[in-house]
Structure 1
Amino acid sequence: MCLNRQSSIPLYEQVVNYVKEKIRTGQWPVGSRLPAQRKLAEWLKVNRSTISTAFDELAAQGLVKSAHGKGTVVINNTWGLLTDRKPANWQQLIEAGHYKPNLAIIQKINAAEFYPGIIRMGTGELSPDLLPNRKTSELLKNLNLRSFSLGYCEPKGNRQLREEIARYVAGFGIQTAPSSILIVSGALQALQLISIGLLERGTTLLLEKPSYLYSVNVFQSSGMRFAGMPMDSEGMCVDKIEAYKKNTPHSMLYTIPNFHNPTGRLMSAARRKQLLAVSARARLPIIEDDVYRELWLGSPPPLPLKADDHAGNVLYLGSLSKALSPGLRIGWVIGPEPVIDRLADLKMQNDYGSSNLSQEIARAFLHTGAYATHTAHTRAQLKIRRDYLLERLDSLFADLAEWQVPTGGFYIWLKVIPDIHAAALFQEALKQNVLLNPGILYDRDAGQYLRLSYSYASFDQMDEALRTLRRIILEQSQRSF
């Protein structure tokens, strides 16, 4: 909204009317928290004193009140003021919901990614410059729309796409049939379906520590517990898994063996064999999240765990979101047919199938070879970006941090040497238009770490962000003495 500075209505009254309209239309229901005064002043391009005056007027009208630790909260709506009926408290219902909200800092990151002028140094997706817009347009023009259905797909997804995926994964050792493949709206949906369809409440999920899954609440919302397994240079350490499985019989293991998120590590071929052997002895199911497979920057990674899974212990997750396009929302699960049948039934209950158009585009990319061509180009560009970020780290952070050179993926797992306060560093960097992913998202004990991404920000932005980050860290370390 832009306020009318030529109007005879004072600016603070225009702000009052703006907030009242948000409340009246239900966009800001009873119990919801209004934006901070500073942020609202930035949005509306007015002085903070104008917002403060408006909030005072709204409080006087009985619409909002200041709550300690919660900011300014909506307590009534204009309809409620005219009746004796108490308005519904939507906030109470939100808090009572079964599905847990994102962590507050994740919600902040999700919102801040779209701030004007922000430098996204933690984003786990390709830069818009690397997305295949032109090729996608060509493939769409060549689609036979007469034979293409805009209706629903069968429960497991477009059969032709599943046939293409079966041929694609055979190229790295996975032998499967279309009936053992489920199309999902990205790997995250696959994890949600697994959590509600295959696991009992109280099940323990063994996973790398740190891990991407600590930053989302998919499994926690279903009553799962996490048990972090340490990592070394070859990936997840397996020596404690069998003993842990004996003490917690209801267990499943989750791993990202290729270019792990957030550390960027690659699990060795020998470690993969060890993990499969442990899984077979302990009868421990494995979720193999392989969404970064195509993003190798030197040589291809070892064969997936699923390629050597002769006992049917591995559920394999793949996706086009990382290497092709996050907006297509196309991923897949490969596993034993009864398991895939169960997950397909749950998906039908959940959304009645992924987008048919997105599935057809994905099929065309795989069938025509355009996917292989695009991923080769993407790898070349990511290597240039990775090498640039490493060069700037060598120049600006040799005295402040430690890191390993990733052989693929998007991320550098940066360990800051001076003591830092992760939340304060995040907030201060955000004020200076640099958006970070602090290590505490992936491990509560990783307060000295940052997940830096070279996949999204431009070269100039990476340089500016590192210079800003260096300055903030030095200022924080000086204040700590």
Structure 2
Amino acid sequence: MDWKPDLSSETPLYSQIKDFIKNKISLGEWAVGTKIPSQRALAERFDVNRSTVVTALSDLIAEGLLEGNTKGGTRVINNSWNLLAASPPPDWSSYVQAGTYYPNQPAIQHINRAEFQDGIIRLGTGELSPDLLPSVQMKQIFEESSVNPFTIGYEEPKGNPYLREQIAAYLHGIGVQTSPSNILIVSGSLQALQLISIGLLQRGSSILLEKPSYLYSIHVFQSSAIKLVGLPMDEEGIQTNQISRYKEGYNASLLYTIPTFHNPTGTLMSEPRRQELMRICADEGLPIIEDDAYRELWFEIPPPLPLKARDPNALVLYLGSLSKTLSPGLRIGWVVAPEPVIERLADIKMQNDYGSSSISQWAAAEWLGRGLYQEHLVYVREQLKRRRDFTVQLLKTNFMEIATWSVPAGGFYIWARLTVDVSMQMLFERALKAGILLNPGSIYDRNAGNYLRISYAYAKLHELEWGIVHLAEMIKELAMVSKNK
């Protein structure tokens, strides 16, 4: 809602708000059953006194368009068409509630909306800063000629052949021996997970994963009635000595892991732990989804080879992406798997979207084929390392008395544990009001309520400094309030 009442108009503010809401209802944008924003939220959005909003809503309730109660909030119960028609219009809210795909957690929905508000400092966002995206080079690629054929039509089910050739060559460089026929182009790793959830797993299955995990913050598996079973982590990654017991106890179908610069903890799985993971999963016949989106974002030393590089038995489904390294807007990722699996996932993808953007695939192939991607990675690593070091120093200066953390060797994230007692909900709301957007740990593990995922990848350096300094002040104030209760 970008609209605001006109303060210079002779029409009273409450009347302008009343007409605006009535228009939303009559156009069907707020269908019957829709719960409208609270009085306080509307007053803040319209920049008016709450009493002005109350007057407008009271009139609409009196006219039979809205119904309000203390528990359920205010909802649309009628519209102008309904007042004239013999039969009522459909209750779209009931359709929405009946959908089989789970909605995002309320906190995630709140974060997704707040990310695009003006003036917000995003301290938890898991993407590269616009300053680090190669916008100029991308424009040049589209302006220059290429030996790679360009099409704006559909691509074949597995994706652009030239792009798959380039990805296969790139993967050979990190130890993954594969061919273009074993690669499927997807619209980011998230789509790969969705295809796997509906194409390879039965409803009611269980999958093992690290706890905490990014996978808890989305409902791609839960919406297919698949249960997530979390395994504890330590400084070397997922605790492999728990796998056999959990697999048997939950009859798990596969294991999902982010072994390299884990989201949200930033943990890098050690080489011995990777070997142990592969040995146990091979013995158990437990397939692995390896999400390797952060692999190239190392700082001092390259990470160990992917799990897929040590996979003679085709145990691993390997996911890669350009979203974290090159451009989230390209929406280009890939799955490496045995050919029957690729054929199955490609068939489902064609039923869903008839293939990822041909333009994005062409651009991605150019970046890889010309060697530009590797050049860009050098720059991104340098900038992210600088940001990591800057953020760690800020934490040392401002958070030493209130939190603990480990310094990541790559990726985007610092997983900070608050050592003082504060209400995370209160901290989130207070920070947002001050223009700071947080990613609470409970998004990734319901038992991680005293954690924050701090990202040094997105905010500008001066925003990181201002945000972390003021966040520390808020935490200390809330801790003092909690202590004095």
Alignment TM class, shorter chain as reference:
over 0.9
Q: What is the distance in 2 between the residues matched to 1:337 and 1:403? A: 42
Q: Secondary structure at the match of 2:240?
A: coil
Q: Which moved more, 1:321-330 or 1:145-154?
A: 145-154
Q: Which moved more, 1:299-308 or 1:72-81?
A: 72-81
Residue segments in structure 2 that go unaligned for 5+ positions in a row: none
Residue segments in structure 1 that go unaligned for 5+ positions in a row: none
Q: Which moved more, 1:456-465 or 1:181-190?
A: 456-465
Give the alignment partner of residue 74 of structure 1, picking from 66, 76, 83.
76
Give the CA deviation at 1:250: 4.2
Change beyond 3 A, Cα 1:223–1:71: same
Give the alignment partner of residue 432 of structure 1, picking from 431, 434, 443.
434
Q: Secondary structure at the match of 2:107?
A: helix
**Conserved 8 A contact 1:122-1:435:** yes
- Residue 308 of structure 1 corresponds to 310
**Conserved 8 A contact 2:261-2:267:** yes
Give the CA deviation at 1:45: 2.9
Give the alignment partner of residue 65 of structure 2, picking from 47, 63, 68.
63
Q: TM-score, normalised by structure 2?
A: 0.97
Q: Secondary structure at the match of 1:414?
A: strand
- Residue 244 of structure 2 corresponds to 242
- Residue 100 of structure 1 corresponds to 102
**Conserved 8 A contact 1:164-1:366:** yes
Give the alignment partner of residue 189 of structure 1, picking from 188, 191, 194.
191
Give the alignment partner of residue 263 of structure 1, picking from 258, 262, 265.
265
Give the alignment partner of residue 419 of structure 2, picking from 417, 420, 429.
417
Q: What is the distance in 1 between the residues matched to 2:422 and 2:7? A: 44
Q: What is the distance in 2 between the residues matched to 1:296 and 1:53? A: 57
Deviation string for 1:452-480 (max 9, x for gaps)?
Answer: 00001111211221122122212221222
- Residue 346 of structure 1 corresponds to 348
Matches within 5 A, 1:257-406: 257-406=259-408
AA at the equivalent of 1:367? G
Q: What is the distance in 2 between the residues matched to 1:135 and 1:146? A: 17
Matches within 5 A, 1:208-219: 208-219=210-221
Q: Secondary structure at the match of 1:437?
A: coil
Q: Secondary structure at the match of 1:316?
A: strand
Q: What is the distance in 1 between the residues matched to 2:69 and 2:346? A: 45
AA at the equivalent of 1:460? H
CA RMSD of aligned residues (A): 1.4
Q: Secondary structure at the match of 2:152?
A: coil
Change beyond 3 A, Cα 1:446–1:175: same
Matches within 5 A, 1:43-62: 43-62=45-64
**Conserved 8 A contact 1:422-1:440:** no
- Residue 132 of structure 2 corresponds to 130
- Residue 5 of structure 1 corresponds to 7
Give the CA deviation at 1:139: 0.3
AA at the equivalent of 2:19? N
Give the CA deviation at 1:69: 3.5
**Conserved 8 A contact 2:208-2:252:** no
Give the CA deviation at 1:146: 11
